[in-house]
Amino acid sequence: MSNKLIDILDDEKKVADLNDDYHYRQSVLPRLEKLRQLIWNENIPGITNDEQDKDLDFVRILKEDLKTEPHHRLTPLEMKNCNKLWKKYK
C-alpha cells in the first residue's frame, strides 16, 4: 500500500471502491440512526427494557461495523432483522 496521494488517486479501481463504500454508508447509516432513535424513543406496552436494550445494541453494532469497516455491507439477514425492528417499534 502506498503512502503517496498520487499513487492512491492513480488507481481508478481503488477510488471507485472508496466512492461505492462512501455512498453505501451515506445511504444506510442515516436509516440505521432513524431506527435507533425510533427504538430509543418508544415506550411500547409489552416490550421490556431488556428487549429494547438488546435491539439498540444490535443497531449500534451494525452502525459501528459500517463506520470502522469501509467494505462491510449489511447481510440479507441483518436487513430482515432491521425491517422487523422497524415494524415492531413503528
Of 3-17, 40-54, 60-74, the poorest mean pLDDT is in: 3-17
pLDDT (0 to 100) of residue 59: 96
Q: Rounded to an integer, what distance in angstroms lies between the CA atom of residue 64 and that of residue 67?
A: 5
Positive or negative torsion for Cα 40, 41, 44, 49: positive
Burial grade of 55 (CB within 10 A; 0-12, 13-18, 19 or more): buried
Q: Is the pLDDT of residue 73 over 70?
A: yes
Q: Residue 37's pLDDT band (boundaries 50, 70, 90)?
A: very high
Q: Residue 14's pLDDT band (boundaries 50, 70, 90)?
A: low
Q: What percent of the chain has pLDDT over 90?
A: 44
Q: Rounded to an integer, what distance in angstroms lies between the CA atom of residue 38 and that of residue 44?
A: 11
Of 19-23, 32-36, 67-71, 75-79, the poorest mean pLDDT is in: 19-23
Nearest C-alpha neighbor of 78 from the set 26, 38, 28: 28
C-alpha distances (whole Å) from 45 to each of 3, 10, 15, 34, 84 are 55, 56, 48, 21, 17
Q: Residue 24's pLDDT band (boundaries 50, 70, 90)?
A: confident
